[in-house]
């Protein structure tokens, strides 16, 4: 009887170990995937590894390691892919090891649009900067002016700035915080309204801003 109980306990521990839990998401369909507050889900038995990686388009994907092909698993290293193993330590099992912001020091910028947001986009920004939806090592923050309208955000989300050099840009977390009167901002081409500035990307970044405020 004692041997049976010991064997059952050992199997139970093994079951906990081999049924890993990982965060599974794609930032292209769920902007929350950028952050470290997602719930984990069960992986298939015998898979106790998770991953988080940056796709070619800069989006973030998380999941169970066995969902990747053999070559993809082998290549999951460096600054574009992180693999990890769920472990049992201390008082219990700690699942979802891929529930981390990746890369750790990815760019954050202030995001606003003076024509579509109640947030004061002209003055100095004091709210927390938000993670850029797409990660590129060369990314930076911007401030754009069109007539009397202004917008701020991540340069990777605003191609006009790159195409025309028509924005104030800066490198570093939350660097686009300053009052617009203190910046030398060229006027961007196009309509005399910031409402034409990548509305899709603005909506996505605004959602991130609300998530950050909720977390804080």
Q: Which residue has the higher pLDDT, 191 or 55?
A: 55
**Token code pair at residue 203:** 């909506």
Together in a domain, 11 and 66: yes
Q: Of the given ranges (41-45, 73-77, 131-135, 212-216), which has the lowest mean pLDDT? A: 212-216
Together in a domain, 116 and 193: yes
Identify whether 168 is part of a domain. yes
Together in a domain, 54 and 85: yes
- Give the span between the Cα atoms of 200 and 32, in whole angstroms: 16
Q: In this model, does residue 194 exceed pLDDT 80? A: no
Domain closes at, from 44, 63, 94:
94
Identify whether 99 is part of a domain. no
Q: Of the given ranges (36-45, 68-77, 97-106, 123-132), which has the lowest mean pLDDT? A: 36-45
Together in a domain, 75 and 127: no
Q: In this model, does residue 203 exceed pLDDT 70? A: no
DSSP-assigned letters across all residues of 61-121 = EEEEGGGS-HHHHHT--TTSEEEEE-EEETTEEE--TT-S-SSTT--EE--EETTT-SS-S
- Give the span between the Cα atoms of 41 and 54, in whole angstroms: 20
- Comparing CA positions, the residue from 135, 164, 134, 152 lying closest to residue 197 is 152
Instruction: Give me the mean pLDDT over the 89-117 stretch.
Output: 83
Identify whether 101 is part of a domain. no
Q: How far apart are the first and last CA of the chain?
A: 53
* Number of domains, the chain: 2
DSSP-assigned letters across all residues of 22-67 = E--EETTT-GGGGSS-PPPEE--TTB-EEEEEE-TTS-EEEEEGGG
Q: Of the given ranges (7-16, 100-109, 148-157, 172-181), which has the lowest mean pLDDT? A: 7-16
Identify whether 204 is part of a domain. yes
pLDDT category at 4 given cuts 50, 70, 90 is: very low
Instruction: Classify 184 as helix, strand or coil.
Output: coil
Identify whether 103 is part of a domain. no
Q: Identify the H or E element spanning 161.
A: helix 159-164
pLDDT category at 190 given cuts 50, 70, 90 is: low
* 116, 118, 120, 121: CA torsion to nearest 10: -20
Together in a domain, 51 and 116: no
Identify whether 102 is part of a domain. no
Q: Tell me: the pLDDT tens digits for 18-73?
A: 457 899 999 999 999 999 989 889 888 777 899 999 999 999 999 999 999 999 99
Together in a domain, 27 and 112: no
* CATH code (residue 51): 2.10.60
Q: CB-based contacts of 195: which residues, under 8 Å, 6+ apart?
A: 113, 115, 116, 149
147 within 8 A of 187, measured Cβ to Cβ: yes
pLDDT of residue 215: 53
Instruction: Give me the mean pLDDT over the 202-212 stretch.
Output: 51
Together in a domain, 62 and 112: no
Identify whether 37 is part of a domain. yes
Domain closes at, from 61, 94, 127:
94
Provide the domain limits for residue 151. 108-215
Together in a domain, 193 and 166: yes
Identify whether 141 is part of a domain. yes
């Amino acid at each position: 009887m004692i041997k049976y109980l010991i064997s059952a306990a050992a199997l139970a521990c093994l079951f906990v170990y081999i049924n890993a839990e990982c965060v599974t998401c794609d930032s292209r369909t769920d902007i929350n995937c950028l952050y470290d507050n997602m719930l984990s889900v069960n992986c298939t038995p015998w898979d106790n590894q998770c991953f988080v990686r940056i796709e070619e388009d800069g989006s973030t994907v998380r999941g169970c390691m066995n969902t990747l092909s053999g070559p993809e698993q082998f290549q999951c290293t460096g600054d574009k892919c992180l693999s990890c193993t769920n472990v049992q330590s201390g008082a219990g099992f700690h699942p979802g090891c891929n529930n981390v912001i990746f890369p750790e020091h990815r760019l954050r910028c202030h995001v606003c649009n003076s024509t579509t947001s109640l947030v004061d986009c002209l003055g100095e920004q004091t709210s927390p900067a938000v993670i850029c939806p797409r990660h590129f090592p060369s990314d930076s923050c911007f401030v754009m002016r069109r007539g009397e309208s202004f917008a701020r955000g991540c340069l990777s989300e605003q191609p006009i700035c790159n195409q025309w050099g028509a924005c104030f840009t800066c490198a570093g977390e939350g660097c686009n915080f300053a009052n617009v009167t203190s910046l030398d901002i060229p006027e961007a081409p196009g309509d005399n309204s910031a409402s034409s500035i990548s509305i899709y990307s603005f909506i996505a970044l605004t959602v991130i801003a609300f998530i950050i405020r909720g977390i804080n």
